[in-house]
Structure 1
Amino acid sequence: MRPINVNLRQEHTAVINKLIEYIDEHIEKPLELKDLSEKALVSPYHLHRVFKSITGETIHAYVNRIRLEKAASKLKHSETIDVSETSRQCGFSSVSIFSRSFRNHFGVSATEYRKMYSINSKSRKINSKNNQLQSTWLAYNKGGANDLELDITIKRMRPCYIAYIRTNGRVLEKTFEENRNHLETMGAIFDWARQHSLWNPPLTSLLSIEYQDPSVSGNKYMRVDCGLTLLKPIDSTGEVGCRLFAGGQYAVLRIFDTTMHARERVKQFWEDWLPNSGFYYTSQPVIILHQNNPSWEPSYRYFVDYAVPISPKQYPGKNLSHYREEMRTPPPRPDLPRLTQLFEEERP
């Protein structure tokens, strides 16, 4: 009987993965249980039960949390969007409902959040009722990152299909042991790719995708896809899903370091480089492109490209392409050869 239960859970996982993709793509629209159950071709009761079993949250709680985290990310990183527009873009039916939900979740109003925790604010620490902001990696190891040199280039990722296995928890945790779950999931997608003759470097690449803003979402609910780029789409089967990733413009931070120092570099990227770069974070998924297996390194060093989706800020009369070129410091290290063609460097 055990294989039947496993197969049934894999079928449920495939349904929920597709439904989560639909929710992500339509977060600004009404997402009622009845409509979602019709999309998933199951009854509302069955969908409610299966969704909770797979994700640990009810559909209502999941949708509400994703909307609030997306709203917080927009308020934090965008200088122009107001509270009313944030509410609309994140799918709330009214500003009053959004304001009440935001305060209940984060412990402060949306306006106070922007003043206190905006990436351009001098004060970036608030006391969240859910303790979410205290649990982010940005709150970890506050000192020591300012002296690091960051290897950052502005690149463009072409659209591609990705096969993935979904898990939870940020990719770069404090220690190698805390990253073991992520590494095991990466190993599972790698083994699956080899079994299906889909591993073909450098035409294919291993990557992780963090779907929520890492400076807003707590580690418990950070949704991560451990994936493999594909040359063409495949049918989703069981826990292995397939989706089209649109690509776009990214600030790519190259890291070759232990997890602790890698986190310091990522922290410096978000807190120091990004606010002064002429770009803002678009609140789309962050991509971590893996160039090695840290288990094989003597000191468990990660060799990754940490890619954050960005868009230019508006500077009247300023040549932004030249500004973009100014921010490319220092030049890429020659001892770390490029292993993948997923990202293409932009020309000024």
Structure 2
Amino acid sequence: MKKETLQKRTKIANDIMYYIYTHIDTNIDIEDLSIDLGVSKFHMHRIFKDAFGKNIYESVKSIRLQKASNLLLTNKYSTISNVANLCGYSSQSSFIKTFKDRFDMTPKQWKNGGYKEYSHKILQQSAKAMSSKANFDIKPTIVKMPKMKSFYIRNQGYNISIQETWQKLHVWTLSNDIKNYQEIALFHDNPTITPLNECQYIACVVTEDIEEVKSDRLPNFSISAGIYAKFDLKGKHGDVLKLIHWVYHEWLPNSEFETSTKPSYAIYHKNNFLSEDNEFELSFYVSVKF
């Protein structure tokens, strides 16, 4: 396959996935999406499945459930019906059936603590997270973050291949002579309740000189503006998963805040995937509302 063709197909696949994540609370119309992208529905489905290994409808169903499972444990004031609506379900009964098929428990059982056992099994998929000795007693700061336009590479899975993804981005910044930029990891899925091989991890570069960057190699999108709780942390790789686990399972449920369907993200001050000592310094941001 020609390089230009591959880049075009990759962009279409990424655009579809981005659209799904940012419109998960709506009735996603594949017909409208194909018109917007200027691609036939057949071609669109084939490109997407080649890129992600599952068809668009399967992905929409999976992402809706991932978002719903997250909101059920963080939004204690929301009813199951509220959560179902936020994640694009028109019927509470169909949501309950679909949820039970995926998680082997009802949304009510999940909300009442069933998520803990499920989440522990997810953590066990990461040897580094299980061996992490990190303890958290972090008081976050509440900040208003701007919309940030970024160039990115999507990594399928929360796994060792993330390092290679960051190396590719680093080569890209050097090749484009970009000097002032931030490295941001965007978590489209909560990796403590989504099987790690299914997580969409996005490695992003944000630069103030973005208008001057000429790139037909990397796609770009905007990281959402909003109100976020910001957690500062230093440590090693497995500590990040433990931090996310603590934020969603301990801090959020015990706070007076709820979260939204906006993805969380981490701004690296030192990137463990690129540092010689494998250590990081970062700020983790989770969307909050009151």
Query: Is 1:228 the equivalent of 2:202?
Result: no
Aligned mate of 2:122, from 135, 140, 147 = 135
Give the corresponding residue for 2:88. 91
Give the corresponding residue for 2:148. 160
Give the corresponding residue for 2:238. 260
Structure 2 stretches lacking a partner, 5+ long: none
2:250 partner amino acid: D
2:191 partner amino acid: P
Give the corresponding residue for 2:280. 302
Q: Any conservation in 1 of the 2:192–2:241 contact (CA below 8 Å)?
A: no
Post-superposition Cα deviations, 1:240-274, rounded to whole Å, max 9, x if no partner, equal 11112232222222222122344444433333333
Post-superposition Cα deviations, 1:164-193, rounded to whole Å, max 9, x if no partner, equal 1111223xxxxxxx53x2122112122212
Matches of 1:110 and 1:97, distance apart in 2: 12
In structure 2, do the counterparts of structure 1 residues 98 and 154 end up closer, same or farther at CA, with 3 Å as the change threshold? same
Farther off after superposition, 57-66 or 107-116: 107-116
Q: Which aligned segments of 4 or more residues in structure 1 are displaced greater than 6 angstroms?
A: none
Q: Any conservation in 1 of the 2:272–2:280 contact (CA below 8 Å)?
A: yes
Q: Any conservation in 2 of the 1:168–1:221 contact (CA below 8 Å)?
A: yes
TM-score for both structures, normalised by structure 1: 0.73
Give the corresponding residue for 2:191. 214
What is the CA RMSD across the aligned residues, in angstroms? 2.7
Aligned mate of 1:192, from 172, 191, 205 = 172
Q: Any conservation in 2 of the 1:255–1:305 contact (CA below 8 Å)?
A: yes
Query: Is 1:274 the equivalent of 2:252?
Result: yes
Say which one has the larger Rg: 1
Query: Is 1:125 the equivalent of 2:113?
Result: no
Identity %: 22
The structure whose residues are more often helix, as a share, is: 2
How many positions carry a matched residue from both structures?
286
2:196 partner amino acid: N
Post-superposition Cα deviations, 1:208-229, rounded to whole Å, max 9, x if no partner, equal 1011122321111111211111
Matches of 1:290 and 1:68, distance apart in 2: 29
Residue correspondence of structure 1 range 14-33 to structure 2 within 5 A: 14-33=11-30
Farther off after superposition, 272-281 or 38-47: 272-281
Structure 1 stretches lacking a partner, 5+ long: 119-123, 127-131, 171-177, 313-348
Matches of 1:196 and 1:291, distance apart in 2: 21
Give SS of 1:279's match.
Answer: coil
